[in-house]
Amino acid sequence: MSTTADLPGGEQDHCKTGPAEHTYAVKPSFLLLYLKNILLSRYNTNMGQVIIPGERHGLCCQLAAINKLNLERWLFYPGMRFGERHIWWGNRGLRISPHEGLDLCYYRSVDSSIMTLSAGTLIPVLHDGHIVRIVDDFLGKTIFVKHARQDEDNRMLYSIYGHVIPQENLVPGLHVRTGTVIGILASRSKKTAAPPPHLHLSAALLPEDFSPERLGWDMTASEAKILFIDPLPLIDCAYEMHNCPQV
């Protein structure tokens, strides 16, 4: 479920590949999450990443395996990573607020071809948890999963999957296990300058008594009780940065 990719904005020949950056993380670890929580304030990406070498068996490998992707590493362009301000599709520009997640779309195959995820790509869940909320977004729907993991302030870990079509039997209250397919990537919107199919992945810490009814895209920029954290170290991801022109 992938196709050969044109680079964002159609600038196949204008994007220059910088030195590859590799990040390898172990299976999602609450110790890692806790350390990130100590280091990061909301949308702060200036601190150094906490990286724990280990086997590659996280969400990225699960996604590649179940979709039979010939994936060697992910490619990120300005605006795709946590906390960045640029829009990476269309005419680009600046976001209203820093990116609260990570966009998975482009990857390099083992034969060095640049590929992109396609509509219909199967999406696995990061870790054991319960489906707590499903809401509309501008490409499909967003799924909120609550995990049985807490920090010292009793905040719960949530993972958030945007721009997907949920499985038919996926409803709030359903328990899911690590790697369970919870949906597929939604198709590209017919609207002008819409991004290609991609998975928006966020990770957040919320109070244990936070009401699921309050979960949604309208709360992301203003809800003081929500602490977004960089999901990249949690998903076991080798990656490479491309330095496309920034608007």
Q: Who's near 32: CB < 8 A, 6+ residues apart?
A: 25, 26, 50, 52, 233, 234
pTM of the model: 0.79
pLDDT at position 69, please? 93
Q: Which domains does the chain have, with CATH numbers?
A: 2-6+21-243 (2.70.70.10)
- The structure tokens listed for 166 are 């949920």
Q: How far apart are CA 178 and CA 125, in angstroms?
A: 6
pLDDT of residue 234: 86
Question: How many Cα atoms occupy the beta-carbon half-sphere of 153 within 13 Å?
Answer: 12
In this structure, what token pair is assigned to residue 208? 């244990």
Dihedral in degrees, nearest 10, Cα atoms 117, 118, 119, 123: -40
Can you say whether the dihedral through the CA atoms of 214, 216, 217, 218 is positive or negative?
A: negative
Token pair for 118: 């396609």
pLDDT tens for the chain, 247 residues: list them: 666 665 564 444 333 333 344 333 333 344 444 434 433 433 333 322 322 233 345 788 899 999 999 999 999 999 999 999 989 988 788 988 889 999 999 999 999 999 999 999 999 999 999 999 999 998 999 999 999 887 778 889 999 999 999 999 999 999 999 999 999 999 987 765 778 999 999 999 999 889 998 898 876 555 567 889 999 988 878 899 887 633 3
